[in-house]
């Protein structure tokens, strides 16, 4: 008897839990506006629709509420949150501050293989534009920014960004009907700066890219006023 636990030889399991699957599906539907702001959500109805028990739905509701997608109030209906313009501005500020430093580090650390992987994401975005596939484009948009963080050794930065960007995400998704080409072109420019190890340009271009939403927000609010909360006064 050596006293060594046989559990040490087991590989970690990466299978998604039922709660993760429920969360991912509801997150997708809220982000894509299939479940628009103001939609009432019932644990019982969602559990029945997805063929699961109420507990994973309850867990998913809680996670979505922490991200800002759901409003859960005791003794009242759970609803998909209205988009807060103030929260969009705050998220843009957080992202700009963090990702400017992330892309600075990327210029120093990314390898040729890293750059190749990011180029492949951009190629996927180009194809998504041609196919008019907004969901795939948005998923790849997130993946592009996430990969820059993680490949730069700054994965924690993406965790901080993700916690703060729910309201911004829905505005970004709405912007894709007219702004996907701008977003793609911005990514191409950022990648070129990273490829050339041009830190100053990379930081400037990332800030410009993340500030586009400030130009787009008034149009989106005008076209989709029913999705927005009544908080027009924001901290720019």
DSSP codes joined into one string, 79-92: EEPPBPHHHHHHHH
Mean pLDDT of the 124-142 span: 96
pLDDT at 13: 44
pLDDT tens-digit readout, 103-126: 999 999 999 999 999 999 999 999
CB atoms within 10 A of CB 73: 9
Percent share of the chain, pLDDT over 90? 82
Contacts of 85 (CB under 8 A, 6+ apart): 217, 221, 228, 229, 231, 232, 234
pLDDT tens-digit readout, 209-235: 999 999 999 999 999 999 998 765 554
225's tokens? 């006023």
**CA distances (Å), 51 to each of 34, 39, 46, 54, in order?**
19, 20, 8, 10
Mean pLDDT of the 137-142 span: 96
Domain 18-80: which CATH number of 3.30.450.20, 1.10.10.10, 1.10.3720.10, 1.10.3470.10 = 1.10.10.10
Task: List every span in the chain annotated with CATH 1.10.10.10.
Answer: 18-80
Comparing 65 with 6, the larger pLDDT belongs to 65
pLDDT grade for 1, boundaries at 50, 70 and 90: very low
CA distance 141 to 124: 10
pLDDT at 63: 93
Task: List every span in the chain annotated with CATH 1.20.120.530.
Answer: 85-227
pLDDT grade for 7, boundaries at 50, 70 and 90: very low
Mean pLDDT of the 96-109 span: 97
pLDDT tens-digit readout, 157-189: 999 998 888 899 999 999 999 999 999 999 999
Class of domain 85-227: mainly alpha
């Amino acid at each position: 008897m050596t006293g060594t636990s046989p559990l040490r030889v087991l590989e970690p399991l990466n299978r998604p839990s039922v709660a993760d699957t429920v969360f991912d599906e509801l997150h997708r539907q809220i982000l894509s506006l299939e479940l628009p702001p103001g939609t009432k959500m019932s644990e019982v109805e969602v559990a029945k629709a997805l063929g699961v028990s109420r507990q994973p739905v309850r867990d998913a509701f809680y996670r979505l509420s922490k991200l800002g997608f759901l409003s859960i109030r005791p003794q009242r209906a759970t609803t998909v949150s209205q988009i807060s313009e103030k929260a969009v501005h705050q998220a843009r500020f957080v992202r700009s501050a963090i990702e400017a430093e992330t892309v600075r580090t990327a210029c120093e650390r990314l390898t040729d293989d890293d750059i190749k992987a990011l180029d492949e994401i951009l190629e996927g975005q180009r194809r998504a534009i041609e196919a008019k596939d907004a969901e795939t484009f948005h998923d790849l948009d997130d993946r592009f920014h996430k990969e820059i963080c993680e490949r730069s050794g700054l994965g924690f930065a993406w965790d901080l960004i993700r916690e703060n960007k729910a309201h911004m995400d829905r505005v970004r998704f709405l912007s894709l009907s007219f702004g996907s080409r701008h977003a793609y072109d911005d990514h191409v420019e950022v990648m070129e700066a990273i490829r050339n190890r041009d830190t100053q340009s990379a930081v400037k271009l990332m800030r410009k890219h993340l500030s586009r939403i400030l130009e787009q927000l008034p149009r989106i609010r005008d076209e989709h006023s029913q999705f927005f909360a009544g908080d027009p006064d924001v901290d720019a």
